[in-house]
Amino acid sequence: MPGPFRIVEGQIKLDDQACKGLVRWVENFDRVVLACPVVPEHLVATSKTSIIWQAITDLPCADRVELVPLPYAYKIQDFIQTYKTTSQLLSAKIQECQYLCFVLSGVIGDWGAIACLKAIKLKRPYAVWTDRVEYEVISRTLLKQESLKTRPLKQLLKNLLLLPLLKPYQRYLCRRSQLGLFQGQDCYSAYSSFCKNSYCIYQTHTQKSDQIDSSNLNLKIQSLSHGEPLLICYVGRATEMKGPLDWLRVIHHLCKAGIHLKATWVGDGPLLSDMKSLADKLGIADKVHLTGFVGDYKQVLEYMKKHHIFLFCHKTPESARCLTESLVSGCPIVGYSSLYPEEIVSKYGGGVFVPINNWQKLADVIVELNSDRAKLKEIILNAALSGQQFDEQSLYQNRSDLIKHYLNINYC
């Protein structure tokens, strides 16, 4: 998978959320071989997004995990120079393993895609796994004004050249896979027709014990009857695809409408300073709390459990984990419409959506919810019901069972 690994004083580390997933994989297989690129330290030092790195040797399953570091080769020259040795390494590991699952992410530097090509050559069945529609993500953010200002010219040119190749390349790899694991309805809709066996899956690291209890749920609902301010939150990176500036414009509109509110954005990212500047310009800095990075996962869930609305302005088709975590926390998701958020609340409710980029209409929806707090209470209850579908152990077991079934040699 794209990973990445980080090597610190000889120890291989992975971000703490991926480590949780790795533990779940090992619960379902005798041994797991994980191959990821190693991020250069200078990129870690200059990154505006914080990550909690955890040593894989500290995991309870460490003795059943084999780690395969790969080159970080997202530059064309690096990819060409490392292609031969890396593809040979991947071929060798493929022949050692019983089940194969590869994450697709791009063209240059995407070793998951190269592993697919090697599996095809070796006539080995494999599963593909995606968590966002990458060609849509690139095309929707590539020529945005924010991108043109912040991204190097070389990166923009590379994306423009590779974008036409990405869709047919990924479709080719999906067609030759035995199983497609597509995270969320957006991915499933984009890729499923090209796969022999396709499933819509979900990614979460919440446990059954993380789901909001009746006491906290009742306290949240009762607060809406006592004239408390409307509590609005978001949890995620301040990047173009998350729509942080639209998020602030919604908050500004609500303040102009006279709504007594408190808004919190939990997370850092390259646009965080732009968010602070815009909040000052709009005169809402006293209404908006930009916390920056919060590393305590339980604390993040507590934020959502206390808030009345999870406001999101996602501009690309992705399966954002924060939306399921919000439902687990009994916090209804209100934001831009796409297949993924619509699908995760389709059974029990707990979400309200408007067309993408229409932040004015999104603000109007929240004005209506604030004025009809009985309806908002109902949506909060429905969100908690929808959240009961998402617990890590069950979801990873289901995914593992699909791999064992469809990649079984006798089946294939």
Digitized pLDDT (tens) for each residue of the chain, 412 residues in all: 998 999 999 999 999 999 999 999 999 999 999 999 999 999 998 888 889 999 999 999 999 999 999 999 999 999 999 999 999 999 999 999 999 999 999 899 999 999 999 999 999 999 999 998 888 887 777 655 445 555 676 777 777 777 889 999 999 999 999 999 999 998 999 999 999 999 999 988 899 999 999 999 999 999 998 878 999 999 999 999 999 999 999 999 999 999 999 999 999 999 999 999 999 999 999 999 999 999 898 999 999 999 999 999 999 888 899 999 999 999 999 999 999 999 999 999 999 999 999 999 999 999 999 999 999 999 999 999 999 999 999 999 999 999 999 998 654 4
Half-sphere exposure of 202 (CA within 13 A, CB side): 22
Extended strands (E) in 269-308: 288-292
CATH number for the domain including 264? 3.40.50.2000
> Would you say 312 and 319 are in contact if contact means Cβ atoms under 8 Å apart?
no
User: To which H or E segment does residue 105 belong?
Assistant: none
94 & 141 share domain = yes
Burial of 29 (0-12, 13-18, 19+ CB in 10 A): middle
pTM over 0.75: yes
367: which 2 tokens?
Answer: 């004005």
Measured CA to CA in angstroms, residue 402 lies from 52, 107, 291 at distances of 30, 27, 40
297 & 397 share domain = no
> Would you say 330 and 387 are in contact if contact means Cβ atoms under 8 Å apart?
yes
35 & 150 share domain = yes
Would 177 be classed as within a structural domain? yes
113 & 92 share domain = yes
* Max Cα–Cα distance, the chain, nearest Å: 66
Would 411 be classed as within a structural domain? no
Cα separation, 187 vs 323, in Å, equals 15
106: which 2 tokens?
Answer: 């791009």
Query: Position of tokens 């906290």?
Result: 216
Q: How many domains does the chain have?
A: 2
Whole domain around residue 328: which residue ranges? 209-390
198 & 59 share domain = yes
Cα separation, 309 vs 224, in Å, equals 12
